[in-house]
A = this chain, B = another copy of it.
Amino acid sequence: MLGDDRLRHNIAVRHQSRTGQQVSTDNVSVFSGAQNALFATSLCLLEHGTEVIVPELYYATYPAAVKLSGATMIPLPTDVAKGFQIDIDALEKAITPRTRAILLNSPNNPTGAVYSRKLLMQIVELCRKNRVWIISDEVYAEIAPQDFVSVSSLTGADDITVTISSVSKSHRMTGWRCGWTVSPESLNDQFYNLNMCMAYGLPAFIQDAAAYALEQNEHTAIVVRDKLMRNRDVVKGVLSHMHGAHLYAEGGGMFVYCPVMDSVAAVRVCSVSAYAWMKAPCAGLRREFLLMLKRSLGESLNTLNRITHG
């Protein structure tokens, strides 16, 4: 129900080496991808009458995942001009006696914002004081820039933090649907019960593959991270030459988020190719933007051709 022992052991080892947090197999639950891990965390931690604070912008599935538990999602506005960083005073004001958790996602999808150690330490302190859980969606952790800090690496975070991750980004195993939580042991008892009626565990061969992947060195993650950083630099360069375009945030995950004149372009900078799309109905700009990307990113010609002409 909690996953294969070998896989859970490997997850615990990887998590501990990445964060320094002392964990064992007993802290790990395996789920059908990070989305399922978030869903399970929501069902087990939250309930009707509780609130979850979610800094804006947030991943598209968060509202539904929170709502399913009966809890109320409280979006926390963040300042575009400050790179979508969390204002600690605003966060403190948003906390009420009903606040059960704050849901963090650094590097952020879609803004690319990465929260600093200082900010995260303030958040941990605030959450301890108010008995609020931290749900930390860290699926981009292993391909994030060097300045990324895991919440669970901070003093005082151990017993109030649920870290969610997967092999999707670090090992390019997105389609394998293998994610997990690292949490206090007490939560694992709840996850066990939930998994018994929610899905009855993952296919053994998928767990074997994930366990094997985690036993290898971090070569794949490093390759992905380095490609992302290169692509990110290319996109930044392209944007710097575009009238009216600038980055809102530094693009720490797989995304950069930027305005292009009166439109908004979200550029996904992934390991093998770059995809680009724009929300505003501005065909001229879209074409210009994509053609510039096309010139810069040789390896993505096919993809960009599809988008430009598609």
Q: Name A's B-contacting residues (CB within 8 A).
A: 32-33, 35-36, 38-39, 43, 61, 64-65, 68, 175-177, 193-194, 196-206
Contact = CB atoms under 8 A, between A and B. Distances in A.
Contacts of A193: 64
B197 A64 contact: yes
Given A175-B203, A177-B203, A204-B175, A197 B39 contact: yes
B177 A39 contact: no
B175 A35 contact: no
B64 A196 contact: yes
Contacts of A196: 61, 64
Contact of A33 (B35, B43, B200): B200
A59 to B, nearest CB: 10
The complex is assembled from copies of this chain, and their number is 2
Nearest to A202: B177
Nearest to A62: B197
B177 A36 contact: no
A6 to B, nearest CB: 16
A200 to B, nearest CB: 4
A75 to B, nearest CB: 16
A263 to B, nearest CB: 26
Contacts of A177: 32, 199-203
Contacts of A205: 175
A35 B195 CA distance: 10
A21 B202 CA distance: 31
Nearest to A37: B199
A284 to B, nearest CB: 34
Given A193-B64, A203-B206, A206-B203, A36 B175 contact: no
- The 3 closest A-B CB pairs, nearest first, are A64-B197, A65-B197, A35-B200
Contacts of A176: 203
A167 to B, nearest CB: 12
A156 to B, nearest CB: 30
A193 B67 CA distance: 12
B203 A35 contact: no
A299 to B, nearest CB: 24
21 contacts: A32-B177, A32-B199, A32-B202, A35-B199, A35-B200, A36-B199, A38-B197, A39-B197, A39-B199, A61-B200, A64-B193, A64-B196, A64-B197, A65-B197, A68-B197, A68-B198, A176-B203, A177-B199, A177-B200, A177-B202, A199-B199
